[in-house]
Chain A
Amino acid sequence: MQLFEEKTHLHYTKWMSGQEKISGKQKAFTDAYQLLHAQLVRFVQSMVYNREDVKDIVAETMLVAYEKFETIRHKDALLSYLFTVSSRLVYKLQDKKKQIYTAFDPEQAEQVSDDHTSADSKVQLNELYNALDQLPLKQKEAIVLFEISGLSLSEIQQIQGDSFSAVKSRIARARESLKKILEEEIV
Protein backbone atom coordinates (compact mmCIF):
# COMPACT_ATOMS: atom_id res chain seq x y z
CA MET A 1 0.00 0.00 0.00
CA GLN A 2 2.70 2.43 1.02
CA LEU A 3 4.78 1.43 -2.00
CA PHE A 4 1.85 2.14 -4.27
CA GLU A 5 1.36 5.59 -2.76
CA GLU A 6 5.03 6.40 -3.21
CA LYS A 7 4.83 5.26 -6.80
CA THR A 8 1.75 7.40 -7.32
CA HIS A 9 3.46 10.38 -5.74
CA LEU A 10 6.46 10.01 -8.08
CA HIS A 11 4.09 9.81 -10.97
CA TYR A 12 2.33 12.92 -9.76
CA THR A 13 5.56 14.87 -9.26
CA LYS A 14 6.67 13.97 -12.78
CA TRP A 15 3.33 15.02 -14.16
CA MET A 16 3.32 18.23 -12.18
CA SER A 17 6.65 19.33 -13.68
CA GLY A 18 4.89 19.77 -17.00
CA GLN A 19 2.15 21.82 -15.48
CA GLU A 20 3.19 25.46 -15.39
CA LYS A 21 -0.02 27.23 -15.85
CA ILE A 22 -1.86 25.92 -12.80
CA SER A 23 -2.67 28.36 -10.03
CA GLY A 24 -1.39 28.21 -6.45
CA LYS A 25 -4.75 27.02 -5.20
CA GLN A 26 -4.85 24.27 -7.80
CA LYS A 27 -1.36 23.14 -6.89
CA ALA A 28 -2.15 23.09 -3.17
CA PHE A 29 -5.30 21.09 -3.83
CA THR A 30 -3.64 18.54 -6.09
CA ASP A 31 -0.80 18.20 -3.57
CA ALA A 32 -3.31 17.29 -0.88
CA TYR A 33 -5.49 15.21 -3.18
CA GLN A 34 -2.79 12.96 -4.63
CA LEU A 35 -2.33 11.25 -1.24
CA LEU A 36 -6.01 10.31 -1.13
CA HIS A 37 -6.56 9.47 -4.79
CA ALA A 38 -6.05 5.69 -4.60
CA GLN A 39 -8.37 5.32 -1.60
CA LEU A 40 -11.04 7.38 -3.23
CA VAL A 41 -10.91 5.59 -6.57
CA ARG A 42 -11.03 2.13 -4.93
CA PHE A 43 -14.06 3.17 -2.96
CA VAL A 44 -15.86 4.51 -6.01
CA GLN A 45 -14.98 1.56 -8.23
CA SER A 46 -16.22 -0.85 -5.54
CA MET A 47 -19.49 1.00 -5.49
CA VAL A 48 -20.28 1.64 -9.18
CA TYR A 49 -18.24 -0.94 -11.19
CA ASN A 50 -18.30 1.07 -14.43
CA ARG A 51 -15.01 2.78 -15.31
CA GLU A 52 -16.63 5.81 -16.91
CA ASP A 53 -18.87 6.28 -13.90
CA VAL A 54 -15.82 6.03 -11.64
CA LYS A 55 -14.02 8.63 -13.71
CA ASP A 56 -17.00 10.99 -13.66
CA ILE A 57 -17.60 10.66 -9.94
CA VAL A 58 -13.93 11.17 -9.10
CA ALA A 59 -13.70 14.23 -11.35
CA GLU A 60 -16.88 15.73 -9.92
CA THR A 61 -15.73 14.99 -6.38
CA MET A 62 -12.44 16.75 -7.03
CA LEU A 63 -14.15 19.82 -8.45
CA VAL A 64 -16.56 20.09 -5.54
CA ALA A 65 -13.75 19.62 -3.02
CA TYR A 66 -11.59 22.16 -4.88
CA GLU A 67 -14.37 24.77 -4.63
CA LYS A 68 -14.42 24.25 -0.86
CA PHE A 69 -10.69 23.62 -0.50
CA GLU A 70 -9.94 26.90 1.25
CA THR A 71 -12.22 25.89 4.09
CA ILE A 72 -10.95 22.28 4.31
CA ARG A 73 -7.20 22.60 4.24
CA HIS A 74 -6.60 19.97 6.92
CA LYS A 75 -5.78 16.59 5.39
CA ASP A 76 -8.19 14.59 7.57
CA ALA A 77 -10.99 17.00 6.79
CA LEU A 78 -10.25 16.72 3.05
CA LEU A 79 -10.41 12.93 3.17
CA SER A 80 -13.71 13.00 4.95
CA TYR A 81 -15.01 15.65 2.54
CA LEU A 82 -13.92 13.75 -0.58
CA PHE A 83 -15.59 10.53 0.54
CA THR A 84 -18.73 12.32 1.65
CA VAL A 85 -19.06 14.02 -1.71
CA SER A 86 -18.29 10.87 -3.69
CA SER A 87 -20.72 8.88 -1.53
CA ARG A 88 -23.51 11.32 -2.35
CA LEU A 89 -22.62 11.15 -6.02
CA VAL A 90 -22.68 7.36 -5.88
CA TYR A 91 -26.12 7.40 -4.27
CA LYS A 92 -27.27 9.85 -6.87
CA LEU A 93 -25.96 7.66 -9.65
CA GLN A 94 -27.49 4.56 -8.12
CA ASP A 95 -30.86 6.32 -8.02
CA LYS A 96 -30.47 7.25 -11.66
CA LYS A 97 -29.48 3.78 -12.72
CA LYS A 98 -31.96 1.86 -10.60
CA GLN A 99 -34.30 1.53 -13.49
CA ILE A 100 -31.52 0.49 -15.86
CA TYR A 101 -29.76 -2.21 -13.86
CA THR A 102 -30.14 -3.11 -10.23
CA ALA A 103 -28.11 -6.27 -10.05
CA PHE A 104 -24.35 -6.75 -10.32
CA ASP A 105 -23.24 -7.10 -13.90
CA PRO A 106 -19.96 -9.03 -14.42
CA GLU A 107 -19.37 -7.16 -17.66
CA GLN A 108 -19.52 -3.89 -15.78
CA ALA A 109 -17.12 -5.30 -13.20
CA GLU A 110 -14.71 -6.23 -15.96
CA GLN A 111 -14.41 -2.57 -16.80
CA VAL A 112 -13.15 -1.67 -13.34
CA SER A 113 -10.38 -4.27 -13.56
CA ASP A 114 -7.45 -2.86 -15.39
CA ASP A 115 -5.17 -4.80 -17.67
CA HIS A 116 -2.55 -5.24 -14.95
CA THR A 117 -4.97 -7.14 -12.72
CA SER A 118 -4.33 -10.86 -12.85
CA ALA A 119 -6.96 -13.32 -13.96
CA ASP A 120 -7.27 -14.70 -10.43
CA SER A 121 -7.68 -11.26 -9.00
CA LYS A 122 -10.32 -10.49 -11.61
CA VAL A 123 -12.28 -13.54 -10.57
CA GLN A 124 -11.95 -12.58 -6.93
CA LEU A 125 -12.98 -9.01 -7.61
CA ASN A 126 -16.03 -10.14 -9.56
CA GLU A 127 -16.96 -12.47 -6.73
CA LEU A 128 -16.59 -9.69 -4.18
CA TYR A 129 -18.44 -7.07 -6.19
CA ASN A 130 -21.26 -9.52 -6.86
CA ALA A 131 -21.59 -10.24 -3.14
CA LEU A 132 -21.32 -6.55 -2.20
CA ASP A 133 -24.04 -5.71 -4.65
CA GLN A 134 -26.47 -7.85 -2.69
CA LEU A 135 -26.00 -5.76 0.45
CA PRO A 136 -28.10 -2.73 1.34
CA LEU A 137 -26.38 0.33 -0.07
CA LYS A 138 -25.48 1.83 3.27
CA GLN A 139 -23.97 -1.48 4.53
CA LYS A 140 -22.12 -1.85 1.26
CA GLU A 141 -20.75 1.67 1.56
CA ALA A 142 -19.68 1.15 5.17
CA ILE A 143 -17.83 -2.12 4.56
CA VAL A 144 -16.16 -0.81 1.36
CA LEU A 145 -14.95 2.29 3.20
CA PHE A 146 -13.69 0.19 6.09
CA GLU A 147 -12.24 -2.88 4.33
CA ILE A 148 -11.18 -1.59 0.91
CA SER A 149 -10.56 2.15 1.33
CA GLY A 150 -9.09 1.62 4.79
CA LEU A 151 -10.96 4.38 6.56
CA SER A 152 -11.36 4.32 10.30
CA LEU A 153 -14.73 3.93 12.02
CA SER A 154 -14.74 7.57 13.03
CA GLU A 155 -14.03 8.66 9.45
CA ILE A 156 -16.87 6.46 8.20
CA GLN A 157 -19.06 7.91 10.96
CA GLN A 158 -18.34 11.41 9.60
CA ILE A 159 -19.15 10.34 6.06
CA GLN A 160 -22.34 8.44 6.85
CA GLY A 161 -23.43 10.90 9.52
CA ASP A 162 -24.58 8.25 12.02
CA SER A 163 -23.40 7.36 15.50
CA PHE A 164 -20.18 5.48 16.04
CA SER A 165 -21.99 2.36 17.31
CA ALA A 166 -24.41 2.44 14.37
CA VAL A 167 -21.51 2.43 11.94
CA LYS A 168 -19.77 -0.33 13.90
CA SER A 169 -22.82 -2.56 13.97
CA ARG A 170 -23.55 -1.74 10.29
CA ILE A 171 -20.10 -2.98 9.31
CA ALA A 172 -20.56 -6.09 11.46
CA ARG A 173 -23.91 -6.86 9.84
CA ALA A 174 -22.40 -6.26 6.42
CA ARG A 175 -19.61 -8.72 7.18
CA GLU A 176 -22.06 -11.37 8.33
CA SER A 177 -24.28 -10.87 5.31
CA LEU A 178 -21.34 -10.92 2.95
CA LYS A 179 -20.03 -14.09 4.52
CA LYS A 180 -23.39 -15.80 4.06
CA ILE A 181 -23.63 -14.62 0.45
CA LEU A 182 -20.14 -15.87 -0.38
CA GLU A 183 -20.75 -19.21 1.36
CA GLU A 184 -23.99 -19.66 -0.60
CA GLU A 185 -22.20 -18.93 -3.84
CA ILE A 186 -19.47 -21.48 -3.07
CA VAL A 187 -22.07 -24.13 -2.21
Chain B
Amino acid sequence: MNKLFDAARNAEPVVSLDESIEQFNKEVEGKETTSIYMKWLKPVIAVATLAVVGGGVYFLIQNQGQQNAEPSQENTVQTEQPAVQATETQPAATVEQPQSKDENIEAVTSSTKTEITNPTPIKNKVTHAVGANDNYIVETQTVNINNETGAFKISISDDVERIVLNGKEVEKSEWSKYQNEVAEAMAAKSSMGINKENAANKKFVDYMFSTLKENGLIKNNLSAIKLSNEMLLIEGQEADSAIHKQLLKEYKKITGNDLGFRTLYFN
Protein backbone atom coordinates (compact mmCIF):
# COMPACT_ATOMS: atom_id res chain seq x y z
CA MET B 1 0.00 0.00 0.00
CA ASN B 2 2.87 2.35 0.79
CA LYS B 3 4.28 1.60 -2.61
CA LEU B 4 1.04 2.67 -4.21
CA PHE B 5 1.00 5.88 -2.20
CA ASP B 6 4.60 6.56 -3.21
CA ALA B 7 3.60 6.19 -6.84
CA ALA B 8 0.76 8.64 -6.32
CA ARG B 9 2.98 11.11 -4.43
CA ASN B 10 5.59 11.06 -7.19
CA ALA B 11 3.12 11.17 -10.02
CA GLU B 12 3.52 14.19 -12.24
CA PRO B 13 0.63 16.62 -11.68
CA VAL B 14 -1.75 16.29 -14.65
CA VAL B 15 -2.12 20.05 -14.70
CA SER B 16 1.19 21.88 -14.84
CA LEU B 17 1.94 25.04 -12.93
CA ASP B 18 2.39 26.96 -16.20
CA GLU B 19 -0.95 25.82 -17.45
CA SER B 20 -2.71 26.64 -14.17
CA ILE B 21 -1.18 30.08 -13.84
CA GLU B 22 -1.80 30.91 -17.49
CA GLN B 23 -5.44 29.94 -17.15
CA PHE B 24 -5.64 31.80 -13.85
CA ASN B 25 -4.18 34.97 -15.33
CA LYS B 26 -6.56 34.80 -18.26
CA GLU B 27 -9.54 34.41 -15.99
CA VAL B 28 -8.38 37.21 -13.67
CA GLU B 29 -7.82 39.47 -16.67
CA GLY B 30 -11.22 38.55 -18.01
CA LYS B 31 -12.80 39.22 -14.64
CA GLU B 32 -11.03 42.56 -14.31
CA THR B 33 -11.99 43.53 -17.83
CA THR B 34 -15.55 42.58 -17.01
CA SER B 35 -15.22 44.52 -13.77
CA ILE B 36 -13.92 47.61 -15.59
CA TYR B 37 -16.54 47.14 -18.27
CA MET B 38 -19.20 46.82 -15.58
CA LYS B 39 -17.77 49.88 -13.82
CA TRP B 40 -18.52 51.89 -16.97
CA LEU B 41 -21.55 49.87 -17.90
CA LYS B 42 -23.31 50.48 -14.59
CA PRO B 43 -23.62 54.26 -15.09
CA VAL B 44 -24.57 53.64 -18.71
CA ILE B 45 -27.22 51.15 -17.60
CA ALA B 46 -28.33 53.59 -14.91
CA VAL B 47 -28.59 56.41 -17.44
CA ALA B 48 -30.32 54.14 -19.94
CA THR B 49 -32.71 52.94 -17.24
CA LEU B 50 -33.41 56.53 -16.24
CA ALA B 51 -33.97 57.43 -19.87
CA VAL B 52 -36.33 54.50 -20.36
CA VAL B 53 -38.17 55.23 -17.11
CA GLY B 54 -38.19 58.95 -17.89
CA GLY B 55 -39.42 58.22 -21.38
CA GLY B 56 -42.08 55.98 -19.98
CA VAL B 57 -43.18 58.62 -17.51
CA TYR B 58 -43.12 61.26 -20.27
CA PHE B 59 -45.14 58.96 -22.50
CA LEU B 60 -47.62 58.34 -19.68
CA ILE B 61 -47.92 62.04 -19.00
CA GLN B 62 -48.36 62.75 -22.69
CA ASN B 63 -50.88 59.95 -22.97
CA GLN B 64 -52.69 61.21 -19.89
CA GLY B 65 -52.64 64.69 -21.39
CA GLN B 66 -54.16 63.40 -24.60
CA GLN B 67 -56.78 61.48 -22.68
CA ASN B 68 -57.60 64.63 -20.76
CA ALA B 69 -57.63 66.65 -23.95
CA GLU B 70 -60.03 64.27 -25.70
CA PRO B 71 -63.01 64.92 -23.41
CA SER B 72 -62.46 68.68 -23.73
CA GLN B 73 -62.57 68.33 -27.50
CA GLU B 74 -65.79 66.41 -27.10
CA ASN B 75 -67.06 69.17 -24.86
CA THR B 76 -66.13 71.69 -27.49
CA VAL B 77 -68.04 69.73 -30.06
CA GLN B 78 -70.94 69.36 -27.72
CA THR B 79 -71.01 73.04 -27.00
CA GLU B 80 -70.61 73.92 -30.62
CA GLN B 81 -73.41 71.67 -31.77
CA PRO B 82 -76.21 73.67 -30.21
CA ALA B 83 -74.71 76.81 -31.68
CA VAL B 84 -74.78 75.23 -35.12
CA GLN B 85 -78.27 73.98 -34.54
CA ALA B 86 -79.36 77.41 -33.43
CA THR B 87 -77.91 78.96 -36.54
CA GLU B 88 -79.66 76.39 -38.64
CA THR B 89 -83.01 76.78 -36.96
CA GLN B 90 -83.09 80.53 -37.05
CA PRO B 91 -83.69 80.94 -40.77
CA ALA B 92 -86.17 78.09 -40.57
CA ALA B 93 -87.99 79.95 -37.83
CA THR B 94 -88.09 82.95 -40.07
CA VAL B 95 -89.91 80.97 -42.70
CA GLU B 96 -91.99 79.04 -40.23
CA GLN B 97 -93.55 82.05 -38.61
CA PRO B 98 -95.68 83.02 -41.57
CA GLN B 99 -96.43 79.36 -42.26
CA SER B 100 -97.87 78.83 -38.82
CA LYS B 101 -100.23 81.69 -39.34
CA ASP B 102 -101.38 81.04 -42.83
CA GLU B 103 -101.56 77.78 -44.71
CA ASN B 104 -101.48 79.63 -48.00
CA ILE B 105 -98.13 81.01 -47.16
CA GLU B 106 -97.02 77.52 -46.26
CA ALA B 107 -98.15 76.33 -49.66
CA VAL B 108 -96.35 79.13 -51.38
CA THR B 109 -93.30 78.64 -49.27
CA SER B 110 -93.24 74.95 -49.97
CA SER B 111 -93.30 75.57 -53.69
CA THR B 112 -89.90 76.09 -55.16
CA LYS B 113 -91.04 79.16 -57.02
CA THR B 114 -92.29 81.18 -54.07
CA GLU B 115 -90.06 82.14 -51.23
CA ILE B 116 -90.85 84.39 -48.35
CA THR B 117 -87.87 85.80 -46.63
CA ASN B 118 -87.79 88.24 -43.83
CA PRO B 119 -84.86 90.62 -43.81
CA THR B 120 -85.69 91.79 -40.33
CA PRO B 121 -83.93 90.43 -37.30
CA ILE B 122 -84.61 86.87 -36.29
CA LYS B 123 -88.12 86.16 -35.00
CA ASN B 124 -89.33 89.40 -36.60
CA LYS B 125 -88.37 91.34 -33.54
CA VAL B 126 -89.50 94.86 -33.05
CA THR B 127 -86.27 96.49 -32.19
CA HIS B 128 -86.57 98.47 -29.05
CA ALA B 129 -83.58 100.72 -28.80
CA VAL B 130 -83.52 102.39 -25.46
CA GLY B 131 -82.07 105.85 -25.43
CA ALA B 132 -81.72 108.49 -22.76
CA ASN B 133 -85.19 109.75 -23.48
CA ASP B 134 -86.64 106.30 -23.60
CA ASN B 135 -87.53 106.71 -27.25
CA TYR B 136 -88.82 103.40 -28.55
CA ILE B 137 -88.03 102.44 -32.10
CA VAL B 138 -90.54 100.15 -33.70
CA GLU B 139 -89.37 99.18 -37.15
CA THR B 140 -91.49 98.71 -40.20
CA GLN B 141 -91.25 95.10 -41.29
CA THR B 142 -90.45 94.15 -44.85
CA VAL B 143 -91.49 90.77 -46.17
CA ASN B 144 -89.72 89.35 -49.19
CA ILE B 145 -91.77 87.14 -51.46
CA ASN B 146 -90.37 85.46 -54.54
CA ASN B 147 -92.87 83.83 -56.90
CA GLU B 148 -93.73 83.52 -60.61
CA THR B 149 -94.53 87.22 -60.81
CA GLY B 150 -91.20 88.32 -59.40
CA ALA B 151 -89.40 89.39 -56.28
CA PHE B 152 -91.59 91.36 -53.91
CA LYS B 153 -90.58 93.48 -51.00
CA ILE B 154 -93.68 94.38 -49.06
CA SER B 155 -93.19 96.78 -46.17
CA ILE B 156 -95.78 96.60 -43.45
CA SER B 157 -96.48 98.47 -40.27
CA ASP B 158 -100.10 98.32 -39.18
CA ASP B 159 -100.91 98.09 -42.81
CA VAL B 160 -99.10 97.79 -46.12
CA GLU B 161 -96.95 100.82 -46.63
CA ARG B 162 -94.89 99.98 -49.66
CA ILE B 163 -94.60 97.31 -52.35
CA VAL B 164 -91.47 96.84 -54.43
CA LEU B 165 -91.50 94.38 -57.32
CA ASN B 166 -88.24 93.41 -58.98
CA GLY B 167 -86.59 96.48 -57.49
CA LYS B 168 -89.27 98.92 -58.71
CA GLU B 169 -91.81 100.49 -56.39
CA VAL B 170 -95.38 99.56 -57.22
CA GLU B 171 -97.88 102.37 -57.31
CA LYS B 172 -100.65 102.19 -54.68
CA SER B 173 -103.17 101.95 -57.49
CA GLU B 174 -101.48 98.76 -58.61
CA TRP B 175 -101.46 97.12 -55.22
CA SER B 176 -104.80 95.42 -55.80
CA LYS B 177 -103.11 93.30 -58.46
CA TYR B 178 -100.95 91.77 -55.81
CA GLN B 179 -103.59 90.91 -53.21
CA ASN B 180 -102.30 87.39 -52.76
CA GLU B 181 -98.80 88.64 -52.05
CA VAL B 182 -100.13 91.32 -49.69
CA ALA B 183 -102.16 88.67 -47.88
CA GLU B 184 -99.07 86.55 -47.51
CA ALA B 185 -97.14 89.54 -46.26
CA MET B 186 -99.86 90.54 -43.81
CA ALA B 187 -100.00 87.02 -42.48
CA ALA B 188 -96.29 87.15 -41.95
CA LYS B 189 -96.58 90.65 -40.51
CA SER B 190 -99.01 89.50 -37.86
CA SER B 191 -96.18 87.95 -35.96
CA MET B 192 -93.86 90.90 -36.49
CA GLY B 193 -94.21 94.16 -34.77
CA ILE B 194 -95.74 97.52 -34.79
CA ASN B 195 -94.83 100.67 -36.59
CA LYS B 196 -92.69 103.05 -34.59
CA GLU B 197 -94.30 105.90 -36.45
CA ASN B 198 -97.74 104.95 -35.19
CA ALA B 199 -98.64 107.16 -32.20
CA ALA B 200 -101.17 104.71 -30.87
CA ASN B 201 -98.65 101.89 -30.93
CA LYS B 202 -96.09 104.06 -29.24
CA LYS B 203 -98.64 104.95 -26.58
CA PHE B 204 -99.36 101.30 -25.97
CA VAL B 205 -95.68 100.52 -25.63
CA ASP B 206 -95.32 103.29 -23.06
CA TYR B 207 -98.31 101.96 -21.19
CA MET B 208 -97.05 98.40 -21.30
CA PHE B 209 -93.60 99.20 -19.93
CA SER B 210 -94.91 101.49 -17.18
CA THR B 211 -97.54 98.93 -16.14
CA LEU B 212 -94.99 96.12 -15.99
CA LYS B 213 -92.65 98.33 -13.95
CA GLU B 214 -95.43 99.30 -11.55
CA ASN B 215 -96.24 95.66 -10.99
CA GLY B 216 -92.60 94.92 -10.37
CA LEU B 217 -92.36 92.62 -13.36
CA ILE B 218 -89.54 94.58 -15.04
CA LYS B 219 -86.92 96.97 -13.73
CA ASN B 220 -86.26 98.93 -16.88
CA ASN B 221 -87.11 99.14 -20.56
CA LEU B 222 -84.29 96.81 -21.48
CA SER B 223 -86.31 93.72 -20.55
CA ALA B 224 -87.23 91.32 -23.32
CA ILE B 225 -90.97 91.09 -23.67
CA LYS B 226 -93.08 88.99 -25.96
CA LEU B 227 -96.78 89.70 -26.18
CA SER B 228 -99.38 87.82 -28.14
CA ASN B 229 -102.99 86.79 -27.57
CA GLU B 230 -101.74 83.52 -26.20
CA MET B 231 -99.05 84.68 -23.83
CA LEU B 232 -97.04 87.41 -22.18
CA LEU B 233 -93.42 86.42 -21.75
CA ILE B 234 -91.02 88.58 -19.75
CA GLU B 235 -87.41 87.47 -20.03
CA GLY B 236 -88.69 84.12 -21.23
CA GLN B 237 -90.90 83.64 -18.20
CA GLU B 238 -94.68 83.59 -18.54
CA ALA B 239 -96.13 86.59 -16.75
CA ASP B 240 -99.23 86.87 -14.63
CA SER B 241 -102.36 86.21 -16.70
CA ALA B 242 -104.19 89.21 -15.17
CA ILE B 243 -101.48 91.57 -16.46
CA HIS B 244 -101.54 89.75 -19.80
CA LYS B 245 -105.29 90.29 -20.15
CA GLN B 246 -104.93 93.88 -19.03
CA LEU B 247 -102.31 94.57 -21.73
CA LEU B 248 -104.44 92.97 -24.44
CA LYS B 249 -107.42 95.03 -23.32
CA GLU B 250 -105.38 98.23 -23.28
CA TYR B 251 -103.90 97.47 -26.71
CA LYS B 252 -107.36 97.31 -28.22
CA LYS B 253 -108.35 100.44 -26.33
CA ILE B 254 -105.35 102.46 -27.50
CA THR B 255 -105.04 101.24 -31.12
CA GLY B 256 -108.69 100.40 -31.77
CA ASN B 257 -107.72 96.88 -32.96
CA ASP B 258 -107.34 93.47 -31.48
CA LEU B 259 -103.81 92.21 -31.30
CA GLY B 260 -105.02 89.31 -33.40
CA PHE B 261 -102.27 87.06 -34.63
CA ARG B 262 -99.59 89.61 -33.96
CA THR B 263 -96.82 88.89 -31.61
CA LEU B 264 -95.06 91.92 -30.26
CA TYR B 265 -91.42 91.62 -29.38
CA PHE B 266 -89.63 94.19 -27.29
CA ASN B 267 -86.00 93.63 -26.85
Residue ranges of A at the interface with B (Cβ–Cβ < 8 Å) = 1, 4, 8, 11-12, 15, 19, 21-22, 26, 30, 33-34, 37-38, 41-42, 45-46, 51, 54-55, 58-59, 62-63, 66, 111-114, 116-117, 121, 124-125, 127-128, 131, 147-148, 150, 175, 178-179, 182
CB of A124 within 8 A of CB of B21, answer no
Residue ranges of B at the interface with A (Cβ–Cβ < 8 Å) = 1, 3-5, 7-25, 27-29, 31
Cβ-neighbour of B1 out of A42, A62, A121, A178 (below 8 A): A178
Residues from chain A with a CB closer than 8 A to the CB of B1 are: 175, 178-179, 182
CB of A11 within 8 A of CB of B18, answer yes
- Alpha-carbon distance between A33 and B25 when the two chains are bound, in angstroms: 13
Closest B residue to A67 using CB positions = B31
CB of B14 within 8 A of CB of A121, answer no
CB of A128 within 8 A of CB of B12, answer no
Which residue, A38, A41, A111, has most C-beta atoms of chain B within 10 A? A41
- Alpha-carbon distance between A59 and B25 when the two chains are bound, in angstroms: 10
Residues from chain A with a CB closer than 8 A to the CB of B9 are: 1, 42, 147-148, 150
CB of A114 within 8 A of CB of B17, answer no
Residues from chain A with a CB closer than 8 A to the CB of B14 are: 41, 45, 51, 54-55, 111-114
- Alpha-carbon distance between A64 and B14 when the two chains are bound, in angstroms: 21
Residues from chain A with a CB closer than 8 A to the CB of B20 are: 37, 41, 55, 58-59, 62
Inter-chain CB contacts under 8 Å: number:
106
Cβ-neighbour of B7 out of A1, A8, A124, A178 (below 8 A): A124
Cβ-neighbour of A55 out of B3, B4, B10, B19 (below 8 A): B19
CB of A124 within 8 A of CB of B24, answer no
Q: List 3 A-B pairs, minimum CB-CB distance, nearest first.
A: A41-B13, A128-B4, A124-B7
CB of A51 within 8 A of CB of B15, answer yes
Which residue, A30, A116, A182, has most C-beta atoms of chain B within 10 A? A30
> Please, could you name 27 A-B residue pairs with CB atoms under 8 Å apart, sorted by A?
A1-B10, A4-B10, A11-B17, A12-B18, A15-B17, A15-B21, A19-B25, A26-B28, A37-B17, A41-B14, A41-B15, A41-B20, A54-B15, A55-B20, A63-B31, A66-B28, A111-B14, A112-B14, A113-B11, A117-B12, A121-B11, A125-B8, A127-B4, A128-B4, A148-B5, A150-B9, A179-B1
A106, chain B: closest CB distance, angstroms = 15
Residues from chain B with a CB closer than 8 A to the CB of A117 are: 11-12
Closest B residue to A25 using CB positions = B28
Closest B residue to A37 using CB positions = B17
Which residue, A46, A59, A114, A125, has most C-beta atoms of chain B within 10 A? A59
Residues from chain B with a CB closer than 8 A to the CB of A124 are: 3-4, 7-8
CB of A125 within 8 A of CB of B7, answer yes
Cβ-neighbour of A42 out of B13, B16, B17 (below 8 A): B13
Residues from chain B with a CB closer than 8 A to the CB of A37 are: 13, 17, 20
- Alpha-carbon distance between A41 and B16 when the two chains are bound, in angstroms: 9
Closest B residue to A124 using CB positions = B7
Closest B residue to A21 using CB positions = B29
Cβ-neighbour of A15 out of B3, B5, B11, B18 (below 8 A): B18
Given contacts A26-B25, A55-B23, contact A46 B8 (CB under 8 A): yes
B17, chain A: closest CB distance, angstroms = 5
